[in-house]
């Protein structure tokens, strides 16, 4: 049997592949540098990619784009292509850019607005350039769009299908007026819209250069070869997972309406032909509140979880081919109109990823971590600033601890599982909004105990300085801490405390609330979760525990109770005999 030979040499293939990725990276950079909103300009809540002309399949995505968009942008682009073919969307011309934020059309939540632009070569569409950016407000019941008690998507904001926002490179001012009439602080959105447009145009310019240099046929051959190789690499990675069915689960605190947890049940089957089948049967039914998840985001969450486990595999549609996701119809992981979905991308997707980690850490413990903090810490503050005479919407996200793993301790203050977004610098927030951060610190003791401990969350407190405002929260992991793995302890759950007029209280749903009125002098304090521990805590080297205590990560009491390590209170050194005796006693009692 003759071996199939690639039509393109390895060097050219590597250069073109890197060139496509670099184009996406430059699009990401352009988007962030030109955007007005701190959530995009500073926190990088955006992504850019290149997609196939025929079916919208992922060709390349920037390494600095949010991983949660790896599947949704592919689904969104494919939906636009399908709607054009069916006559449900105006046909494209060179210079047109479609805008869409409908969650049920391959999206996430309403605040994530996708742009898609056909890229023409010789009069035909060669591929699509698409990007997505988180707009700080899209209208709806609460500033910022994170309505913790929404019961229908209309309450979350303006929803629009694919529309030609740019026609032959000209912004449609009538459509723009409709959008601006339905959102808060529209004067800031024009900067984000132009940044999103500029990123696509930069991508088109660079892509023309790549095609001109190597020729259209060679570039298309390289794209096909990268997809084929990505599928082969994923199958090879799947081969390292033992055959069988591996089960995991994860829980969401509540849906914001009914104060009961939502369960994600997952069975992952590794088949004999080196495929993975993900089945969410047994998960909770659709919920009343905004923690429903649209199908595109459910798929994307599975893809990004596998990306965490096998990061060496190229970002290409080929990497998804050996993965099958059974239709989760009848569960909250397949949201249908008009179910609210504001918690879909930022929170539910992270619980889906956690269920994948929970299942596969048993199968390939050297490749999978304990559960990370798994929340974006969504905190929206909207109000008026009397000193400048205008309204504002501040959107704050925050990091947390990652789970311990076979190779060491979890990352401290890591970004959310689904992204690379980081908290905007507090100096920027204090310049732009009427707030003052009194504390922004590491949350000691929050990492779950284990042979490899979890990383630590953050602890911050912010005060409203002027005017009146409304605070809304859509976070998670407040009822349950991030799961430990293989005998490790769970990380500390997240907390929210609101100090209003000297009265301190926690939201009834722990991590979800909306429309909490604040006046000058009121404060909000947030503690984000720590990561889960990996392996039995009493197997952690005693000197590593002593070093953690010396750095203030844990107290002397926690060292004894959590890790079985007895330290001298004066010198901080390990009392070896007492430590050995304590650990032997614990082992014999187990």
Q: Is residue 520 domain-resident?
A: yes
pLDDT attached to residue 4: 55
Residues 88 and 137 in one domain: yes
The average pLDDT across 562-570 equals 97
Q: Is the pLDDT of residue 486 over 80?
A: yes
State which of 200, 230, 260 marks the end of a domain. 230
Mean pLDDT, rounded, of the chain? 96
Reported as a single tens digit per residue, the pLDDT across 242-257 is 999 999 999 999 999 9
The residue among 570, 469, 472, 579 whose CA lies nearest residue 521 is 469
Q: Which residue has the tokens 């050996």?
A: 322
The average pLDDT across 93-116 equals 97
Beta bridge partners of 265: 249
pTM across the whole model: 0.96
Residues 61 and 72 in one domain: yes
Residue 360: in which H helix or E strand, if any? helix 349-360
Strands 97-100 and 58-61: unpaired
Reported as a single tens digit per residue, the pLDDT across 345-383 is 999 999 999 999 999 999 999 999 999 999 999 999 999
Lowest mean pLDDT among 140-144, 205-209, 451-455: 140-144
pLDDT attached to residue 1: 42
Residues 490 and 569 in one domain: no
Q: Is the pLDDT of residue 92 over 80?
A: yes
What residue numbers bound the domain in which 194 lies?
10-230
Q: Is residue 192 domain-resident?
A: yes
User: Count of alpha carbons within 13 Å of 574, Cβ hemisphere only?
Assistant: 19
C-beta of residue 143 within 8 angstroms of C-beta of residue 402? no
**3-state secondary structure (DSSP) of residue 310:** coil
Residues 106 and 121 in one domain: yes
Q: Is the pLDDT of residue 587 over 90?
A: no
Q: How confident is the model at residue 535 (pLDDT cuts 50, 70, 90)?
A: very high
Beta bridge partners of 513: 473
Q: Is the pLDDT of residue 2 over 70?
A: no
Spatial distance between the Cα atoms of 251 and 283, rounded to a whole number of angstroms: 10
Reported as a single tens digit per residue, the pLDDT across 374-384 is 999 999 999 99
Q: Which two tokens stand for residue 282?
A: 């047994």
**Strands of the sheet with 512-519, listed across from one edge:** 390-396, 378-385, 468-474, 512-519
State which of 207, 230, 253 marks the end of a domain. 230
- The runs of H, that is alpha helices, within 435-575 are 542-550, 556-563
End-to-end CA distance of the chain: 58
Q: Which two tokens stand for residue 148?
A: 């913790």
Count up the domains in the chain and report the number.
3
Percent of the chain with pLDDT over 70: 99
Q: Is residue 15 domain-resident?
A: yes
The CA–CA distances, whole Å, from 413 to 62, 110, 179, 449, 514 equal 23, 27, 36, 17, 25
**3-state secondary structure (DSSP) of residue 583:** helix
Residues 69 and 187 in one domain: yes
Q: Is residue 265 domain-resident?
A: no
Spatial distance between the Cα atoms of 573 and 578, rounded to a whole number of angstroms: 12
Residues 474 and 446 in one domain: yes
Reported as a single tens digit per residue, the pLDDT across 4-52 is 556 799 999 999 999 999 999 999 999 999 999 989 998 899 999 999 9
Residues 415 and 499 in one domain: yes
Residues 93 and 205 in one domain: yes
Beta bridge partners of 264: 250
The average pLDDT across 300-322 equals 96
C-beta of residue 532 within 8 angstroms of C-beta of residue 448? yes
Residues 550 and 486 in one domain: no
The average pLDDT across 328-346 equals 97
Q: Which residue has the tokens 């990497």?
A: 319
Residues 76 and 207 in one domain: yes
pLDDT attached to residue 7: 73
Residues 75 and 186 in one domain: yes
State which of 172, 201, 230 marks the end of a domain. 230
Lowest mean pLDDT among 315-324, 383-392, 415-424, 506-515: 415-424
């Amino acid at each position: 049997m003759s071996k199939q030979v690639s039509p393109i040499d390895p060097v050219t293939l590597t250069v073109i592949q890197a060139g496509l990725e670099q184009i996406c990276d430059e699009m990401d950079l352009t988007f962030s540098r030109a955007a007005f909103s701190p959530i995009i300009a500073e926190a990088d809540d955006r992504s850019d990619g290149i997609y196939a002309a025929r079916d919208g399949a992922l060709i390349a995505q920037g390494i600095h784009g949010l991983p949660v968009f790896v599947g949704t942008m592919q689904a969104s682009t494919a939906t636009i292509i399908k709607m054009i073919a069916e006559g449900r969307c105006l046909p494209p011309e060179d210079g047109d850019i479609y805008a869409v934020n409908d969650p049920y059309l391959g999206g996430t939540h309403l605040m994530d607005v996708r742009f898609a632009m056909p890229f023409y070569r010789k009069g035909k569409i060669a591929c699509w350039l698409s990007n997505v950016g988180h707009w700080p407000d899209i209208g709806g019941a609460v500033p910022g769009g994170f309505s913790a008690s929404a019961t229908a998507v209309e309450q979350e904001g303006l929803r629009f299908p694919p529309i030609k926002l740019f026609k032959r490179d000209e912004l449609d001012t009538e459509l723009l007026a409709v959008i601006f009439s339905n959102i808060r602080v529209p004067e800031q959105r024009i900067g984000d819209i132009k940044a999103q447009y500029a990123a696509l145009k930069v991508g088109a310019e660079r892509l023309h250069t790549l095609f001109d240099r190597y020729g259209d046929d060679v570039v298309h051959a390289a794209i096909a070869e990268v997809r084929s190789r990505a599928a082969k690499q994923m199958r090879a990675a799947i081969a390292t997972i033992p055959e069988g069915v591996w089960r995991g689960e994860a829980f969401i605190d509540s849906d914001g309406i009914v104060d009961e947890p939502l369960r994600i049940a997952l069975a992952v089957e590794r088949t004999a032909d080196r495929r993975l089948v993900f089945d969410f049967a047994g998960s909770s039914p659709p919920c009343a509140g905004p923690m429903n998840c649209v199908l595109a985001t459910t798929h994307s969450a599975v893809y990004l979880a596998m990306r965490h486990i096998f990061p060496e595999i190229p970002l290409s549609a080929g990497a998804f081919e050996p993965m099958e996701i059974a239709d989760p119809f009848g569960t909250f992981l397949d949201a249908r109109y008009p179910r609210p979905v504001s918690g879909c991308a930022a929170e539910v997707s992270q619980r889906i990823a956690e269920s994948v980690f929970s299942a596969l850490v048993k199968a390939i413990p050297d490749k999978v971590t304990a559960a990370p903090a798994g929340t974006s810490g969504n905190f929206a503050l909207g109000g008026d600033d009397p000193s400048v005479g205008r309204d504002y919407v501040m959107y704050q996200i925050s990091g947390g601890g990652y789970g311990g793993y076979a190779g060491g301790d979890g990352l401290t203050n890591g970004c959310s599982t689904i992204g690379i977004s980081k908290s905007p610098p507090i100096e920027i927030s204090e310049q732009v909004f009427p707030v003052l951060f009194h504390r922004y610190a590491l949350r000691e003791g929050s990492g779950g105990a284990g042979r490899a401990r979890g990383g630590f969350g953050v602890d911050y407190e912010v005060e409203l300085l002027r005017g009146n405002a409304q605070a809304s929260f859509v976070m998670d992991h407040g009822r349950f801490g991030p799961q430990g793995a293989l005998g490790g302890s769970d990380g500390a759950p997240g907390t929210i405390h609101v100090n209003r007029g000297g009265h301190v209280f926690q939201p009834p749903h722990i991590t979800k609330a909306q429309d909490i009125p604040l006046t000058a002098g009121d404060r909000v304090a947030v503690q984000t979760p720590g990561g889960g521990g990996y392996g039995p805590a009493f197997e952690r080297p005693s000197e590593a525990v002593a070093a953690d205590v010396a750095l203030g990560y844990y107290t002397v009491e926690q060292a004894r109770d959590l890790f079985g390590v007895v330290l001298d209170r004066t010198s901080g050194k390990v009392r070896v005999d007492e430590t050995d005796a304590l650990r032997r006693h614990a082992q014999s009692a187990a």
